[in-house]
């Protein structure tokens, strides 16, 4: 079932800018059938989240299946097609008070998640020249609305999107989403936020977005996006990233990410005026790389983004913590190694340490959406996180592309930081087996 969309001036403006020009050498369409594909992925996911100050751990284990069919386009100047997907999640373990790690649906009150959950969706699409229009259930990935893909099944959105590639090295896109299918549920809900708390009955009706991404120079990328989460915030994003290959062995990669978030409309989460940015420098030497990053939140509310989403394009967003508290300053050191250098292609590793200092006394205790961040003892609150990531991807044979990933995170806080979070150890084991059927 499709829902009507309300086009805001932001979306109308971006749509007007991407009306395509006619290309005399427009390539021939592959056709509805010839251009189609079917991809499957089986993801086995185990998460153990041990909150040290609480009596119960969050432990869940599940098996997920995702199938995605994408048709080609019918022939002609204007082509039509359809995308269809289906998901199934099976509980292998989780219950008796150990549920709640976010792999499986929220329990029904008896301490046990359901044995299975599933969903399916479809998208109608149309293409003319270099412009593509989609309506239905969407997989989205950009800095202001990115579906979460860090759990057993992915998050999707229900709405409309428009994208254009008329100019070499440019992507211009926009859209509107009214509902989301969370990664651990079967049904759809309105789009919420990760860190804000809405009053009962309050909800945002739509998220509108528009943006441009550029990669016209080798090694250099940049993007600019804007979004409106109706009656909650307007959010703007800019980034600049450059990889400079000094020689065959050494490379430098500086980068910058910047978000500005401002309350809008009925301001259901209260006053928001937040500038958050991060910068990094990565030095690569052969199969080794070292990254130093610094991140700053300027505002008396945390940097926030959509619930369960991956639209937090900041350098210090780690496995457990985003280091995004009110007025938080944080830094990170990361070392990564590709074992191709010792004859084991497909095996990679990373080790990082992040540390942040935040003033929780500046959070508004009367804030409509962020009062829980206030702590009278948190003037100099601190926390740190250590992350270890090890992954192996099979390079050939019948199990080619099968990936096994092990993740460990240790997060500790003090000086009042415990008012908003407890010390936590988290372990994840993720096995992906993708199959390209055709």
Q: Is the pLDDT of residue 109 over 50?
A: yes
Question: Averaged over 30-42, what is the pLDDT?
Answer: 92
Q: What is the mean pLDDT of residues 376-405?
A: 95
**Residue (of 13, 160, 149, 196) closest to 430 by Cα position:** 149
Q: pLDDT digit string (tens) for 255-287?
A: 999 999 999 999 999 999 999 999 999 999 999
Q: Which of these ranges, 98-102, 198-202, 303-307, has the smallest mean pLDDT?
A: 98-102
Q: Are 430 and 55 in contact (CB under 8 A)?
A: no
* Sign of the alpha-carbon torsion through 304, 310, 314, 315: positive
Percent of the chain with pLDDT over 90: 79
Domains and CATH numbers, the chain: 129-436 (2.40.160.10)
**pLDDT above 70: residue 40:** yes
Give me the chain's average pLDDT, please: 90
Rounded average pLDDT over 381-399: 96
* pLDDT for 14 beyond 80: no
Instruction: Pull the structure tokens for residue 325.
Output: 């508290």
pLDDT value of position 16:
39
Helix (H), strand (E), coil (C) string for 87-110: EEEEEEECECCCCCCCCCCCCCCC
Picking from 39, 36, 102, 48, the residue whose alpha carbon sits closest to that of residue 66 is: 39
pLDDT of residue 107: 65
Q: What is the mean pLDDT of residues 293-318?
A: 96
pLDDT reading at 314 higher than 90 = yes
| Distance spanning both ends of the chain, measured CA to CA | 28
How far apart are alpha carbons 4 and 135 in whole angstroms?
A: 10
For residue 73, CA distances in Å to 171, 324, 348 come to 20, 43, 38
Whether residue 25 is predicted with pLDDT greater than 80 in this model: the reply is no
What is the per-residue pLDDT across 170-182, written as a single tens digit (0 to 9) for each?
999 999 999 999 9
At residue 371, what are phi and psi to the nearest 5 degrees?
-65, -25
Least confident of 19-28, 294-303, 335-344: 19-28
pLDDT of residue 24: 36
Tokens of 53: 């100050």
- Phi/psi zone of residue 136: left (φ > 0), alpha (ψ -120 to 50 degrees), beta? left
Q: For residue 392, what is the enclosing H or E element?
A: strand 381-393
pLDDT of residue 99: 67
325: confidence class by pLDDT, cuts 50, 70, 90:
very high
Q: What is the pLDDT of residues 415-436, one digit of tens each?
A: 888 877 889 999 999 999 999 9
Mean pLDDT, residues 19-43: 70
pLDDT computed for residue 50 by the predictor: 87
| pTM attached to this predicted model | 0.90
Q: pLDDT band at residue 51, thresholds of 50, 70 and 90?
A: confident
Tokens for 110, please give them: 């008896």
Q: Distance (Å, rounded) from C-alpha 178 to C-alpha 119?
A: 17
> Among 90-104, 116-130, 317-331, which stretch is predicted with the lowest mean pLDDT?
90-104
Answer for the pair 155, 181: CB distance below 8 angstroms, yes or no.
yes
Instruction: Give the separation between CA 300 and CA 1, rounded to whole angstroms.
Output: 40
Across residues 286-304, what is the average pLDDT?
Answer: 97
355, 319 Cβ separation under 8 angstroms:
no
Predicted pLDDT of residue 23: 40
**What does the pLDDT look like over 181-239, one tens digit per residue?**
999 999 999 999 999 999 988 999 999 999 999 998 999 999 999 999 999 999 999 99
Looking at residue 191, the DSSP 8-state letter turns out to be -
Please say if the pLDDT value at position 2 is more than 50.
no
- Residue 53 pLDDT: 73
What one-character DSSP code corresponds to residue 28? P
Answer whether residue 7 shows pLDDT above 70: no
Q: What whole-number percentage of the chain has pLDDT above 70?
A: 91
Q: What is the pLDDT at residue 26?
A: 42
Question: Taking 90 as the threshold, does the pLDDT of residue 393 lie above it?
Answer: yes
pLDDT at 417: 87
């Amino acid at each position: 079932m499709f829902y009507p969309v309300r086009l805001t001036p932001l979306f109308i403006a971006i749509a007007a800018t991407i009306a395509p020009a006619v290309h005399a050498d427009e390539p021939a369409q592959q056709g509805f059938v010839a251009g189609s594909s079917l991809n499957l992925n089986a993801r086995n996911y185990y998460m153990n989240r041990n909150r040290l100050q609480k009596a119960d751990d969050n432990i869940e284990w599940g098996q997920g299946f995702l199938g995605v069919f994408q048709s080609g386009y019918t022939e002609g100047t204007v082509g039509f097609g359809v995308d269809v997907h289906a998901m199934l999640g099976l509980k292998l373990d989780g219950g008796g008070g150990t549920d709640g790690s976010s792999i499986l649906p929220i329990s029904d009150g008896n301490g046990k998640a359901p044995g299975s959950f599933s969903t399916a969706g479809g998208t109608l699409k149309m293409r003319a020249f270099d412009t593509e229009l989609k309506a239905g259930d969407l997989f989205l990935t950009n800095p202001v609305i990115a579906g979460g893909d860090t759990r057993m099944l992915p998050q999707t959105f229900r709405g409309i999107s428009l994208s254009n590639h008329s100019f070499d090295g440019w992507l211009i896109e926009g859209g509107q989403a009214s509902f989301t299918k969370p990664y651990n549920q079967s049904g759809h809900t309105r789009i919420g936020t990760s860190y804000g708390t809405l009053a009962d009955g309050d909800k945002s009706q739509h998220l509108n977005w528009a943006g441009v991404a550029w990669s016209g120079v080798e090694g250099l990328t940049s993007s600019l996006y804007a979004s409106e989460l109706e009656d909650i915030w307007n959010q703007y994003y800019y980034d600049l990233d450059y990889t400079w290959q000094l020689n065959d062995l050494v490379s430098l990669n500086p980068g910058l990410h910047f978000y500005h978030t401002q309350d809008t409309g009925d301001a259901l989460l209260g006053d928001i005026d937040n500038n958050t940015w991060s910068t990094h420098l990565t030095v690569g030497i052969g199969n080794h790389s070292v990254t130093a990053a610094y991140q700053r939140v300027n505002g008396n509310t945390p940097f926030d983004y959509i619930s369960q989403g991956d639209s937090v394009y900041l350098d210090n967003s780690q496995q457990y913590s985003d280091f995004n508290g009110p007025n938080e300053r944080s830094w990170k050191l990361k070392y990564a190694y590709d074992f191709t250098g010792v004859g084991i292609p497909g095996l990679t590793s990373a080790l990082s340490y992040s540390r942040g200092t935040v003033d929780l006394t500046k959070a508004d205790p009367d804030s409509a959406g962020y009062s829980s961040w206030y702590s009278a003892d948190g003037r100099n609150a601190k926390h740190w996180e250590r992350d270890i990531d090890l992954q192996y991807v099979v390079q050939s044979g019948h199990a080619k592309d099968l990936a096994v990933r092990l993740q460990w995170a240790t997060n500790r806080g003090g000086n009042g930081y415990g008012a908003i979070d407890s010390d936590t150890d988290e372990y994840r084991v993720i096995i992906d087996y993708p199959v390209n059927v055709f």
